[in-house]
Structure 1
C-alpha cells in the first residue's frame, strides 16, 4: 500500500529537465520581446559577445523543440539580454514556483534562488558566498567614499569663501571616515575568507590603492 502511494505521489512530480528548460525558454523569450529583439538580433548579439548561438537554436529552444541547452549558452544569452544567468533559470517576480531538483515538487522561486546563490544553507560554502557578497558591498562603499573624498577636496581647493571651504573640508573628512570604515570591514571579510579557504589560497585584494589617496598619507589600510 505504501509503495503504491509513493508511486502515485511521484507521478505528480514534473519531469525536471523539461520543467527547467521550459522555464528558461519562456524567460529568454519574455526578455527578448521586452527588449524588442528578434531571434536573429539575439543571435547576432551572442555572436558579438564571442559565442555564436544560431537563430534556429534560439527559436527551437523558445518553442520547446530543443530540450537541452549548454550552460555556456545560458551564460551568453544572459549577457546578450542584459541580465544574470541565475535570473534566466529562476525568473524572480515572473514565475511563482520552480522545480529545484529532480523528483521534487515545485517550490517558491525565491527559495530556489536563495539556494542557488548560496544565500541559504549551512557549511563553509554558504559562508564563503556570504563573505563574497559582503566583500562586494564593502568595496562599493569604499569606492563611493573615495569619490566623495576627492570631490569634496576639489571643492575645498576651488572655494573662495572660507565658510564653503570649511564645509567642503568637513564633508571630505566624513568621506575619509567612511572610506576607512569600509576598508576595515573589508579587512575583516578577507580574514574570514582566508579562514574558510585556508592559508595557501589567495584572497581578494584590499583597498590600499584607495586609502593611499588619503591626504595625511598615514592610512594604508
Structure 2
C-alpha cells in the first residue's frame, strides 16, 4: 500500500466511524483554513485525487483528532505488512515504518549515528535495543565501508 492510498483509506474509515458526511469533513477542513468541499473528500477517498499537501495532511489529522502517523501508516496491518515509503525501493514492514516516523529507528541505508544525531535533546530517548551505542558504531562503520566500496563516500 502506498502512503496516499493509506491516507485515503484511513480518512474514509475515520470519517465514517465518526458518523460524518463528506460535507461535514469538508466543513471542518474549511474551518481550519483548508478550502475543501464534499467532492474533494470523495475524490480523495475513492482515489481520483492523487495527493494531499502537507498542510492538508496535518489539518486532516487535526480535525479527525488522530496522530498524523495513524493517517499515514495502517493501524490494523500486521507488523510485516509491506509499506512502500520510497517508490523505487522495496517496501518495509509497517511496524518498522511507524518506528521510523516516530524517530525510533533509521530505515533503509541510513547511517544510524547520523540519524540519531538529529534528535533534539529534549526528545532524546535511548534507541531500541538493536541500536545500542556498540551496534550504532558497527552499523556506521559498515555503512561507511559500503559507501567507500561503491564510490559514494
Instruction: Could you tell me which runs of 5 or more consecutive residues in structure 1 were left unpaired when the two chains were aligned.
Output: 1-13, 136-221
Q: Give 1 or 2 for the bigger CA radius of gyration.
A: 1
Aligned with 1:129 (options 116, 119, 122): 119
Aligned residue for 2:50, secondary structure, equals coil
1:125 Cα deviation from its structure 2 partner: 4.6
Correspondences of 1:16-35 after superposition (within 5 Å)? 19-35=2-18
Correspondent of 2:27 among 29, 35, 44: 44
TM-score (structure 1 length as normaliser): 0.48
Q: Is the 8 A contact 1:61 1:67 kept in 2?
A: yes
Q: Distance in 1 between matches of 2:17 and 2:120?
A: 32
**Equivalent residues in 2 for 1:125-164, closer than 5 Å:** 125-129=115-119, 131-134=121-124
Q: Deviation per CA, 1:81-125, whole angstroms, max 9, x where unpaired?
A: 001222211123346331121222322111012122221132355
Which range is displaced more, 91-100 or 67-76?
A: 91-100
Runs (4+) off by over 4 Å? none
**C-alpha spacing 1:36/1:132, structure 2 compared with 1 (3 Å):** farther
Matched with 2:131 is none
1:74 corresponds to which residue?
A: 57
2:98: which partner in 1?
Answer: 113
Closer/same/farther in 2, CA of residues 120 and 132 from structure 1, 3 Å limit: farther
Partners of 2:77 and 2:94 within 8 A in 1 = no
* Distance in 2 of aligned mates of 1:92 and 1:27: 9
Aligned residue-pair number? 118
Considering fraction of residues, name the structure with more helix. Answer: 1
Normalising by structure 2, we get a TM-score of 0.67
Unaligned runs of 5+ in 2: 107-111, 126-153
Q: Are positions 1:85 and 2:71 aligned together?
A: no
